[in-house]
Structure 1
Amino acid sequence: HMSSQTLKGSNLTTVRGINERLILHLIREQGELTKADTTRLTGLSPNAISVIFRALEEDNLLLRGQPIRGRIGQPSVPMRLNPNARYYLGFKIGRRTFELALVNFTGTILAEAKDTHKYPTPENTLEFVTKSLPSLLLTAGKSPEQISAFNVAMPFELWSWSADFDAPEHEMAAWRDFDLKSQLSQRTQWPVTVHNDGNAACRAELIFGPPVEARDFIYFFVGAFIGGGIVLNGAVFPGRSGNAGGFGPMRVPDNNGADRLVDHASLVVLEHLVAQRDQGLAASLYAEGFDWSLVEPELTVWLTRAGRSLAYAVISALAVIDFEAVMVDGGFPADICKRLVREVQTHLATLDKQGVVCPEIKAGHFNYRAGVLGAAAYQISTEFMIDQNTLLQRSPDALIKK
């Protein structure tokens, strides 16, 4: 009987060596590094660094920058990631939107397709993919052989919240027994993965966003529902069920009618407020390019409510782990995101914070595109970065033998 905490290695010879990953990870974080910088940062020998740099360059993962001429000795050459090293397809299934994007190794979207819907069903999901894929590849000018993977980000248990976003229960129930991964694998030629949408959005921020000083932070994503992710030791921590940072059920005190975060800090709440005045307007809320001034005064009312509820959620989360930063992003334009962040800060200033140290609250950088970018980035995080959290993982056998 194995212990439930087992250090795991990998027998795959194709898996990047830990030092190679470390160097790719650091270059991704810093933008570019010379051999001397890397030697200093990693503590590896100059010789080891030279060998790894050469291997990564031969594998087309790194590109040389302009030599920096110093006063003595050889000019040093900064290396950066090759944006065209890999291409990935990211697909986000939202409660109100579909989004498919072809993304390169450094997070640039080369082509994308979007659609809004009343609710996602297995049927309209597959239909969207089949319809959008050919033109997407054409626009990006990529052949199917150039794509490394097809990665999906979606809410887990789509069926369990149908009433909250006005979806017919019997249609949503179809998701229960639907094997999306195998259905997509049958229709496409790439390896398919399926992950939680909140974790994906969090991953986009971590991998493609500007460098974050914090090693541990909370990330909220305000979409039709509220979700998010948790970063521990500089990597997304999915938790045992892949649902860590699913903040929806978090309890929020003293609110009229409902005590869950999802009942206040979700766009579906704003949508319902607007629908009382104008149903067509409420439905257009999820279309990118929508003019948000059209949903005043409801928007201000909702921002106050969402900001207050998020402030409580921040304090609750800080009581569990002393996170060094909090990020808030969502399916709205950057200026709305900034307003929401200000609301959270305002409410935090007035709440009792005894026993917790409140970190800085910042706006995320990807808004609408966080989910689809994070979906695409899955392989980058697992194959080309260091994740200290996975070094200590339960082995599947240990869970089965309990």
Structure 2
Amino acid sequence: MIKQNRVQQYFDSHNNHLNEQILKISFVFLALSVTWNVIFHLLNVPYSRANLSILFAGLVICLLIMILKKFLPKDIMIHVILSFMLFIFTCLYFGSGFTDAWTYYLIVPIIAALYGQSKILLIYSFFSFVLLFGVSLLFPIQKPFDSIDLSNQLLTHIIITSFSFMVIRKLNGLYKKQIEFVKESAEITIEQVVKTFVVSVEAKDRYTFGHSDRVSKYAVAFAKTLPEFEDGKKLTQLHLMGLLHDIGKINIPESVLCKTSELSYEEYELIKTHTVVGAKMIEKVEGLEGLKSGVLYHHERWDGKGYPTQKKELDIPLEARVLALADAFDAMTSTRAYRSALSEKEAFIRIVEGKGTQFDPYLVEKLESVKLSWFKICRESQDDLDELERTFDIF
């Protein structure tokens, strides 16, 4: 939704800027035309056949549209501008005295193409084609009337319109590629920012090193088997939620995070604040707002006895219910300061025991299909942990 809004804002900004530029250019052109021809009339030299009344009327209407532009809706303004172009070129046909004034109508498809919408190009190209045919047939500037000239004029208009359609397609293709490039770059940047956050949290506790990355891997591997996550965007969001789910622990003192003995009531309540703190942190970072639900609700329980809001059952967002399973599995299979790791099989047994109380029963049933994948992730990550341990031993 955020991306769609930004794209729409881009198009609105582009169209507004284009409207202003077309009006300014039209005003300057008409003002120069009037001035140019007035000078020739004043000097009484035979270099002008222009009808000054028609040109001046066009200039006045251009000024009125520039004034009314602030009060007209954006979508309507596009049609006002293009209709004005048709009017101006008709005025120039009758008022410029230019023997090839029909060529002004060829500009309409080019201007319409600048808006990047095939529908608009088709509509106003048709109108300009009809006007070109009508005025050339009924009010030919060059006499006697030549039907071959008219046929060639119409053919030229069709050719220009065809090229304008091709320009739109090429520009839209380039724009889509640019959007995809910017999107991919933004996603890479966001992931880099996310991983920086994660490192800053996990650096406080050697026992939780890699926890967020593993939770993300477990969650994504599981979600790929669920029909609710067929959309790749949802998988990407879940991946980032997994990385960020414990970001709020940056606010927890190391003395509490690394405590080897049982936590006091106050310390446990402090630990529980990490979900709310994390949610408040990411909602203030542009591009991460959509990850809030996973960060805030991943410690809620199916029976409503979790935290921070005591949501239960389907009121808990699906992403948070998936993360709850991944988080619990990794916590149980990881060595902590206060206990040793459980085996993968024992961790699975405990998850099944929590079916319908701590965990979503539907998800627990589906979890069997990724058991082997989770075991593989767990064992591969253990190799990384062993390497980390050796690094710590060196220091």
TM-score by length of 2: 0.24
Relative contact order: is structure 1 or structure 2 higher (C-alpha 8 Å, sep ≥ 6)? 1
TM-score by length of 1: 0.24
**Higher share of residues assigned helix:** 2
**Higher share of residues assigned strand:** 1
- Based on CA coordinates, which of the two structures has the bigger radius of gyration? 2
